[in-house]
Amino acid sequence: MFKKILIANRGEIAVRVMRACRELGIVSVAVYSEADKHSFFALYADEAYPIGPAPARESYLSIERIIDAAKKSGADAIHPGYGFLSENAEFARACEAEGITFIGPRSESIAAMGNKVGARALMAKAGVPLVPGTGALSGLEEARVQARHIGYPVLIKAAAGGGGIGMQVVEQEDDLPWALEHAQSSARSAFGDPTVYMEKYLRHPHHIEFQVLADRFGNTVHIDERECSIQRRHQKLIEESPSPVMSPDLRAEMGEIAVRVARSVDYVNAGTVEFIYADGEYYFLEMNTRLQVEHGITEVRSGIDLVKTQIRIAAGLPLPYRQEQIQLTGWAIECRVNAEDPLANFAPSPGTIKGYRSPGGIGVRVDSGVHMGYTITPYYDSLISKLIVWGRWRDEAIERMSRALFEYVILGVTTNLPFLKAVLESKDFRRGDYSTRFLEEHPCVEDDVRRIMAERSLSGIFAGMKNNRRVAAISAAVDAYLTEDRERLS
């Protein structure tokens, strides 16, 4: 087993990995930018090293600085978390060259799945069902020919992409030139590679992913699925497991395909195989060669600590279970709590947290890297925490999440808490009748957000009046709950 692990990440995922290290008796090493010097994750770690200025390209995306910190600390392994360099084959190769274990797949596997055009070709050879689409597009004329062949609407995607960056839906041929140019420009800017390809755009699909684990001895398993269809601009907001549209037979079939995908690239460690499901058919979308943000809902249903398992696999240990031994129970839901304004097109809301109280109770888990007085900077993702609940069945999990969202208090920054609660109150969500187009098809959610914000404000005022009759206390309660919302509610 490793003696010391450097976590090449920040925020809640850095804390998550450090907790696993502490339980395993492994020394954890943090790296931090100038903006994160006093962050919780940097203080929680056993050791911490500065790696540069606030901009990610000069710190968390600097392979050279992270490797240097690992060598200085004497770390024998690096866990990349998710985002930043977690799916960077060059980073994995740099670790391998320095004799530092990369807690993740081999660099060859990352590279194979990192290019979406190449991954489609590999999956076609492996007999994995694919969304009708193309290879790399050479230019506008080929794009026109291919779009006519596939049939509109089509989706233009970056070959080196991820997270929905640069995706363009094209409804008709007149829109194709602009969409192609915009997608190429976005891909060049975000990934340094303008290569794009085309797929058939499915109007009402479910985004379903399967968690896989594989060791160095040829053992590969899946831990069932996660439904990730509540999205905004291809960014996931609410996930649940199991999927409300899944049957036992379909789960077994898709799980077997997910395992086949992993084996086709000699995959080792934790990964996620993503599918699009529509009209009774499913298609391979991509493979994320890392730990997923939403891994917690799989953990609470399976009892498997995925981060500990990652570490043990990287240390050369075999998986301790076979596919038939994995048992999942109940229902789990995750809400991503972000510092953003749902009434201003989800604009980021950096600032200092002036009041913070997280929810609790049976079946509630909060993965967070913030605290009272913590400053959310404009340099990084606006994620505050991941709120995860477990229930014996879906209705219980929804009610528990609704209760937990009601309890959650975050003051000083605008958050998406009212939006998350509004989605959970939607009749279609409660029926499990939704797709990746949920937000476009439910414009009334914004009205529900306004109502919930008003209700939260009033409940705060009444609580202050009931518990403390002093005018100063009432005034403070009114200010705390209404000051930040007044303009939006007016």
Last residue of a domain, one of 164, 182, 200: 200
Q: Is residue 375 part of a domain?
A: yes
Verify that 392 and 428 share a domain, yes or no: yes
Q: What pLDDT does residue 182 have?
A: 94
Task: Look up 290 and say whether it is catalytic.
Answer: yes
Q: What is the CATH number of the domain that holds 422?
A: 3.30.470.20
Q: Is residue 117 part of a domain?
A: no
Q: What pLDDT does residue 444 have?
A: 75
Q: What pLDDT does residue 170 have?
A: 96
Q: What is the CATH number of the domain that holds 145?
A: 3.30.1490.20
Q: Is residue 109 part of a domain?
A: no
Last residue of a domain, one of 151, 184, 200: 200
Q: Torsions phi, psi of 405, nearest 5?
A: -65, -35
Q: Is residue 490 part of a domain?
A: no
Q: Is residue 477 part of a domain?
A: no
Verify that 9 and 158 share a domain, yes or no: no
Q: What is the CATH number of the domain that holds 77?
A: 3.40.50.20
Find where tokens 């913070």 sit.
Answer: 356
DSSP state of 202: P
Verify that 63 and 161 share a domain, yes or no: no
Verify that 35 and 57 share a domain, yes or no: yes
Strands of 149-205 (E only): list them. 154-158, 168-170, 196-200
Q: What pLDDT does residue 449 have?
A: 86
Cα gap 329→298, rounded to integer Å:
10
Q: Which of 159, 306, 337 is nearest to 226 (CA)?
A: 306
Last residue of a domain, one of 58, 83, 103: 103
> What are the per-10-residue average pLDDT scores of the chain (490 residues)?
97 98 98 96 98 96 98 98 95 97 97 92 94 94 96 93 81 96 90 92 94 97 97 91 97 97 97 95 95 97 98 97 96 97 91 95 97 93 96 98 95 94 94 93 83 69 47 50 52
Verify that 147 and 60 share a domain, yes or no: no
Report the domain count for the chain.
Answer: 3
Summarised one tens digit per residue, pLDDT across range 123-132 is 999 999 999 9
Q: Is residue 126 part of a domain?
A: no
Q: What is the chain's alpha carbon radius of gyration, rounded to the nearest angstrom?
A: 23
CB 2: neighbour CB atoms within 10 A?
18
Verify that 366 and 319 share a domain, yes or no: yes
Q: Which residues of 344-357 are buried (b: 16+ CB within 10 A; e: fewer)?
A: eebebbebebeebe
Residues 6 or more apart whose CB falls under 8 angstroms from that of 326 comprise 221, 223, 224, 302, 304
Give the domain extent around 144. 132-200
Q: What pLDDT does residue 466 have?
A: 47
Q: Which of 85, 114, 119, 84 is nearest to 102 (CA)?
A: 85
Q: What pLDDT does residue 222 have?
A: 98
Q: Which amino acid is at 420?
A: L
Verify that 172 and 215 share a domain, yes or no: no
Cis status, amide bond into 242, omega within 30 of 0: yes
Cα gap 350→240, rounded to integer Å:
28
Residues 6 or more apart whose CB falls under 8 angstroms from that of 142 comprise none
Verify that 302 and 224 share a domain, yes or no: yes
Verify that 289 and 416 share a domain, yes or no: yes
Specify the pTM. 0.90
Verify that 211 and 329 share a domain, yes or no: yes
Going across the sheet that includes 27-32, the strands are 47-50, 27-32, 4-7, 77-79, 101-102
Cα gap 474→14, rounded to integer Å:
39
Verify that 27 and 46 share a domain, yes or no: yes
Q: Which amino acid is at 369?
A: G
Verify that 64 and 149 share a domain, yes or no: no
Q: Which of 16, 106, 120, 290 is catalytic?
A: 290
